[in-house]
Each structure stands twice: as structure tokens, then as C-alpha cells.
Amino acid sequence: MAEDLHIISGSKEEMYKALLPQVKALLHGETDLIANMANMAAALKEQFGWHWVGFYLVKEDELVLGPFQGPVACTRIKLGRGVCGRAWQKKGTLTVPDVEKFPGHIACSSLSKSEIVIPVFNNNNEVAAVLDVDSDQLNHFDAIDQKYLEEMVGLLKL
């Protein structure tokens, strides 16, 4: 396996299209979830340079911080709390163009301005983790991010 990512410039869609097969190759043959989440977060950070990107894993009644790239973050989030807890509760992706306008948003970093949270499902169709991406720009995430990030987390075997 080549460890170097091929980082491209181009449209957001072109970047996702170039990154997806590389992440697939990185994950190929590796069954450890934490290792795969760590490489996925690193690959996304390297290609897109977002402020924060990482996972929270469902553990009993909370989300607990998992592999991530970016500044230190809150470690535990209850069901229904913040953007992450709400995405877990509703079992669907949440895109927040302005975090200050999202009631209950958990500000781990004052630099975060917009956010997208994608649930990761296990074989029983339960949310087992979420992928959280934060940007230091307002209105950074859209349907293209949702489509490709949902496809990306679908590569994880839970």
C-alpha cells in the first residue's frame, strides 16, 4: 500500500472523486475500525484542510471522541446534544451553515463556523459513530459534501 496521498486541486467534486478510491485502497485489507477511521480523518484533512475532522463513537448513551485531526475537542456528547448528538438521534446527516444559529451547538472551538455531521451505520442499521467536520468559514458544506462523505463513511465496516 502506498502511504502517500495524491492531493489534487480542482472543484470540490473533483477532490472527492480523486480521494475516494485512495481511501478505499488505504482501508483495503485492514479490519481495525480505529485504524481505518484514523486514516480516513487524516486523508480528508490533508485533501480539504478543514478546521477539524473526526469521529465520535457511540458508547452506551454517549458519543465518545475517536480518531480526529485538528484542535483538541470535547470528549463526550449525549444523545440529542449538539449537532453530533442530534445527527445520531435523527439517524441522518445534519448540515449547519452557521453554528451560532443552531440551538444547542457545542462549541469545541471558537473558530468553527459551519459544520456537517454524518452518521455511520452498523449492519443492524444502528448509528455506531458519527463523522463530524467543522469549517472556519460560514456556509462551507452542501449536498456535494453530504453525498461524498456519506459514501466515504460507507467504506467503514462496523
- Give the interface with ligand SME as residue ranges (CB under 6 A): 52, 73-74, 77, 82-84, 105-106, 108, 112, 115, 132, 134
State the residue number with the nearest CB to ligand SME. Answer: 82
- The nearest distance, CB 99 to ligand SME, in angstroms, is 7
If the CB atoms of residues 48 and 52 are measured against ligand SME, the closer one turns out to be 52
Q: Which of 73, 71, 72 is nearest to 63 (CA)?
A: 73
Q: Which residue type, as a one-letter code, is found at position 33?
A: L
- The nearest distance, CB 132 to ligand SME, in angstroms, is 5
SS3 3: coil
Residues 50/81, Cβ–Cβ less than 8 Å: no
Cα 129 from Cα 68, distance rounded (Å): 13
Residues 108/52, Cβ–Cβ less than 8 Å: yes
If the CB atoms of residues 23 and 99 are measured against ligand SME, the closer one turns out to be 99
- The nearest distance, CB 33 to ligand SME, in angstroms, is 19
Q: Which residue type, as a one-letter code, is found at position 133?
A: V
- The nearest distance, CB 77 to ligand SME, in angstroms, is 6
- The nearest distance, CB 48 to ligand SME, in angstroms, is 15
Residues 68/52, Cβ–Cβ less than 8 Å: yes
Cα 18 from Cα 7, distance rounded (Å): 8
If the CB atoms of residues 28 and 90 are measured against ligand SME, the closer one turns out to be 90
If the CB atoms of residues 12 and 78 are measured against ligand SME, the closer one turns out to be 78
SS3 123: coil
If the CB atoms of residues 116 and 152 are measured against ligand SME, the closer one turns out to be 116
